[in-house]
Structure 1
Amino acid sequence: MDNRARSVGAATSGPISLLRHVKWEHLVAGMSGGVVATLLLHPLDLVKIRFQVNEGMGLTTRPQYNGMIDALKTIARSNGFVGLYKGVTPNVWGTGASWGLYFFFYNSIKTWMQDGNSKQALGPSRHLLAASEAGLVTLALTNPIWVTKTRLCLQYEKGQSSSLPTGQYYRGMMDALLKIYKLEGIRGLYKGFVPGVLGISHGALQFMTYEEMKNAFNAYRNCPVDTRLSSSEYIMFAALSKTFAATMTYPYQVLRSRLQDQHHKYGGTIDVIRQIVKYEGAKGFYKGLLPNLLRVTPACCITFVVYESIISFCTKRQEQLKDKTEGNCE
């Protein structure tokens, strides 16, 4: 009987028990935060991508900008306010889906590692592992959306995209997805996947730093690690963790954007690295970093505050229902 009990315990602690820890509110909360942040800050993302793919080799099909403010003014002057939101549809879908799936998978894996005990601190290495696993699954599901977002963001003003083949001019997100698949196949939809895999370290570093700062803060206050914090505290930890992760891993975003760019063809990730080093030097790997930090830091803060607020609401709601049920039983 003891052997049977041990075998049952082993079975329930295996990967199949992960399903017991799935909570859909993390998916909804993450998507909500991602969508709100994207709608507010997409113009900075547009400028970041255009800086990232600027090789500095005299490519005349691209508009040239004298800094972030000049880029925003030039785009708005040429295409109006709507021009600042080129590529916003796949960005909303991609960011919403990415944050939603990331939070969903991360918290499911994390809760599974804790065996359902939210007061158990995992430590840096297990936070890194959970975040890396969540990032890989999320990237595999969303990479085609990011390719379409990059392509749409790089459709410049009229006359500057005229050199592209007809099949590479896109009327919108679905048109881009279908044309990329038709002309380039599955490989086209997964361009930039390799540097994207390298970029999983970004999310892993961010979530590890965020979790460890929250845990250390709660330990300082002599509170359980799952104690809910105030919005200002979430903003502070989100900003610090995002700035750290973004600065440490930014070069992979440059590589991914260039591989997904329809105006220049590369022979792969190594070829992109070689050309950047040859023509632009080390600073080429950090093009667009300023608009990126100005975008991702507040975007992360907005996302995390919306996410944590929804989770706090759901937690309080569940506790109220539990108290009500227990009261009725008595």
Structure 2
Amino acid sequence: MDFLMSGLAACGACVFTNPLEVVKTRMQLQGELQAPGTYQRHYRNVFHAFFTIGKVDGLAALQKGLAPALLYQFLMNGIRLGTYGLAESRGYLHTTEGTLSPARSAAAGALAGVMGAYLGSPIYMVKTHLQAQAASEIAVGHQYKHQGMFQALTEIGQKHGLVGLWRGALGSLPRVIIGSSTQLCTFSSTKDFLSQWEIFPPQSWKVALAAAMVSGIAVVLAMTPFDVASTRLYNQPTDSQGKGLMYRGILDALLQTARTEGIFGMYKGIGASYFRLGPHTILSLFFWDQLRFLYHKYTK
């Protein structure tokens, strides 16, 4: 039941934040491996990107990749939050004195995130391809021209086999390890701190909401460079064997980005990442926490 509630909570958040994921993806691909000032900026900031995509591609384009995004969130966060929730409820994250261990919490969050992200990697790759697709006048990055999620998965599988479906999976793991461990450790630690100091009434929904807000800020700052690299790894063109033509792996993507675009290139789309990851983290963790609370309250 923990896995089902976790997946549903993440899907509920995804419906509202997917347009920001579209904007984030395109801003991260804009000016890929080009020096600042040498390329046309189709998307100047988050708000300009929303306006441009809506004007040129149509308002429906702001929900591109929604189907794979929902499926990925259900799989990834169902496994991630469900596994973490089980570890927490069984006391594995606490010391013998009963206090929360940040180290155990971070390790459990990282392990749970890796499991979910690796299994859902083909869905995430297709989501990235679909969200990057745009009219030629505002297109950034490689354009795959997929017709939909199932067509894309079938085409990639037929051309490159199972290995092709999991292309970029290993490169995405550092992003997930850092993001998941930071998110869940910060969320649990903040909740524990707020409860100990009795800042809000016991069992108040405000505890989960405040903890999720703090977690959202922390995860964006820690994860953005790895998120940029992961997006580019998934979206890069491939040869006939399905091997990437631009990057050899996550480290190569990070180094090439830093070398050609500078430190700010590694934080492209951070505004969209915050507006997307912040609300998504807040909503998914808040829904997850409240669903677990209600389930355990009424099933005792």
Q: TM-score, normalised by structure 2?
A: 0.86
- Aligned positions of 1:201-280 closer than 5 A: 201-221=178-198, 229-263=203-237, 265-269=245-249, 270-280=251-261
Contact 2:5 2:292 in 1 (8 A): yes
Match of 1:306 among 279, 283, 287: 287
How has the CA–CA distance of structure 1 residues 42 and 198 changed in structure 2, closer, same or farther, with 3 Å as cutoff? same
Number of residues of Structure 1 aligned to a counterpart in Structure 2:
288
Contact 2:9 2:284 in 1 (8 A): yes
How big is the shift at 1:219? 2.1
How big is the shift at 1:127? 0.9
Partner of 1:138: 116
Which deviations, in whole Å up to 9, do the C-alpha atoms of 1:214-257 show, x marking residues without a partner? 1122222399xxx9632222111101012112201211111110
| Cα distance in 2, alignment partners of residues 115 and 250 from structure 1 | 27
| Cα distance in 2, alignment partners of residues 234 and 290 from structure 1 | 24
Contact 2:22 2:63 in 1 (8 A): yes
Amino acid of the structure 2 residue aligned with 1:64: H
How big is the shift at 1:61? 11
Structural RMSD (CA) = 3.1
How big is the shift at 1:39? 0.8
Partner of 2:155: 179
Match of 1:282 among 263, 276, 282: 263
How has the CA–CA distance of structure 1 residues 61 and 82 changed in structure 2, closer, same or farther, with 3 Å as cutoff? farther
Amino acid of the structure 1 residue aligned with 2:192: N
Secondary structure of 2:120 counterpart: helix
How big is the shift at 1:98? 1.6
Partner of 1:103: 81
How big is the shift at 1:211? 0.9
- Aligned positions of 1:74-223 closer than 5 A: 74-114=52-92, 120-157=98-135, 168-199=144-175, 200-221=177-198
**Mean CA deviation greater in 279-288 or 66-75:** 66-75
Contact 1:127 1:204 in 2 (8 A): yes
Secondary structure of 1:250 counterpart: helix
Partner of 1:46: 22
Which deviations, in whole Å up to 9, do the C-alpha atoms of 1:113-168 show, x marking residues without a partner? 54999x9334111111211221121122111110010011111126777x989xx4
Amino acid of the structure 2 residue aligned with 1:51: M
**Mean CA deviation greater in 87-96 or 301-310:** 301-310
| Cα distance in 2, alignment partners of residues 177 and 63 from structure 1 | 31
How has the CA–CA distance of structure 1 residues 292 and 107 changed in structure 2, closer, same or farther, with 3 Å as cutoff? same
How big is the shift at 1:65? 1.8
Partner of 2:298: 317
- For the pair shown, which has the larger CA radius of gyration, 1 or 2? 1
Amino acid of the structure 2 residue aligned with 1:305: F
How has the CA–CA distance of structure 1 residues 288 and 307 changed in structure 2, closer, same or farther, with 3 Å as cutoff? same
| Cα distance in 1, alignment partners of residues 17 and 219 from structure 2 | 19
Q: TM-score, normalised by structure 1?
A: 0.78
Identity %: 23
Structure 1 gaps, min length 5? 1-23, 320-330
Secondary structure of 2:273 counterpart: helix
Amino acid of the structure 2 residue aligned with 1:195: G
**Mean CA deviation greater in 125-134 or 261-270:** 261-270
Contact 1:63 1:156 in 2 (8 A): no
Partner of 1:323: none
How big is the shift at 1:274? 3.0
Structure 2 gaps, min length 5? 239-244
How big is the shift at 1:112? 4.3
How has the CA–CA distance of structure 1 residues 183 and 239 changed in structure 2, closer, same or farther, with 3 Å as cutoff? same
How big is the shift at 1:175? 0.8
